[in-house]
Amino acid sequence: MAGSSLRAAGRLTHDPEVRWVLLVVAVVVLAFVALAAAPVPQAQARLSSSGELAFHPCDQCHPVELDAEGKPTKPLPVDLEKHETELEVHDILGEGDKACLACHDDPASNPGQLILPDGSFVDVTGDVSRVCQRCHFEKYRDWEAGIHGKNQPKCSAAGCHNPHSPSWIYIEALPPFLGTGIEVHAVSEREPFTPLAGPPVPPPVETPLWLSIVSALGAVTSAGIVSILIVGRRRQ
């Protein structure tokens, strides 16, 4: 049975039309395999793994060359005048440059660097959530624990919130964050920032002294009775 089938198949392959069909099929399969195996071009190759704000790194507009001492070879802008960004909520951080310098380091010395809680710096493509941690430490802890933003595990602070107006959040918050998503206003009214307070310290439990004394007496009496019962039983 199997032999006759093979013979029939062999006869078919001698047919030129069948050969053409087989050739086309083989080419299509090989092309498909080749396409599947080929490396996918990284459309977002310049984005960081978490994607925050990599679309406008500072060095894109301000190419920086550092000298041997690690300082910029060319003079850099000394203020943030041309970086006009509308701040909502974060305008509470100060007037003019003062609001910017609350998170961004002085562009004259550390272009594009953001200030971390310990005073060190991080690039805008780095872990910017830790910048937010400086003020929003409670939220940061909750986010780190997965309680805040729990359904966006790979998203960091700027992945969900517009970093300049954090009361606006992106509808599509999942990475890669492109920074161009549709934003919605998450806070209905402008509210000044107040960090979430820690859990309230519960007032101490007030146990009446007389109750403690009576309880101790009751416990001792009961223990005595039970002991007598057990000892008496053993003797019996």
Q: Which is nearer to another protein, 15 or 144 (CB)?
A: 144
Nearest to 133 by CA among 122, 228, 89: 122
Q: Which is nearer to another protein, 21 or 226 (CB)?
A: 226
Cβ-Cβ contacts under 8 Å for 231 (sequence gap 6 or more)? none
Neighbours of 177 (CB within 10 A): 26
Beta bridge partners of residue 72, listed in sequence order: 66
CB of 177 to another protein, least distance (A): 18
Neighbours of 100 (CB within 10 A): 20
User: Binding residue for another protein (CB under 8 A) from 81, 232, 234, 235?
Assistant: 232
Q: Which is nearer to another protein, 187 or 225 (CB)?
A: 225
Q: How far apart are CA 222 and CA 204, in angstroms?
A: 29
CB of 204 to another protein, least distance (A): 9
Q: Does residue 77 touch another protein according to CB under 8 A?
A: no
Cis-peptide into 203, omega within 30 deg? no
User: Binding residue for another protein (CB under 8 A) from 146, 193, 195, 231?
Assistant: 146
User: Binding residue for another protein (CB under 8 A) from 18, 187, 229, 231?
Assistant: 229
Beta bridge partners of residue 169, listed in sequence order: 161, 184
Q: Taking CB under 8 A as the rule, which mask of x and - marks residues 175-214 in contact with another protein?
A: ---------------------x-xxx-xx-xxxx--xx-x
Look at the alpha carbons of 142, 147, 148, 152 in this order and tell me if their dihedral is positive or negative. positive
User: How distant, in Å, are the alpha carbons of 84, 122, 130, 196 from that of 135?
Assistant: 23, 16, 10, 10
User: Binding residue for another protein (CB under 8 A) from 38, 43, 145, 171?
Assistant: 145
Q: How far apart are CA 209 and CA 80, in angstroms?
A: 66
Query: Are the C-beta atoms of residues 44 and 176 closer than 8 Å to each other?
Result: yes
CB of 97 to another protein, least distance (A): 34
Stretch that binds another protein, among 10-18, 89-97, 170-178, 227-235 (CB under 8 A): 227-235
Q: How many residues bind another protein (CB under 8 A)?
A: 32
Q: Which is nearer to another protein, 180 or 207 (CB)?
A: 207
Q: Taking CB under 8 A as the rule, which mask of x and - marks residues 150-179 in contact with another protein?
A: xx-x--------------------------
Q: What are phi and psi of 98, to 5 degrees?
A: -60, -40
Q: Is 217 helix (H, G, I), strand (E, B) or coil?
A: helix
Q: Summarize as ranges the residues that interact with another protein (CB under 8 A).
A: 138, 142, 145-148, 150-151, 153, 196, 198-200, 202-203, 205-208, 211-212, 214-215, 218, 221-222, 225-226, 228-229, 232-233
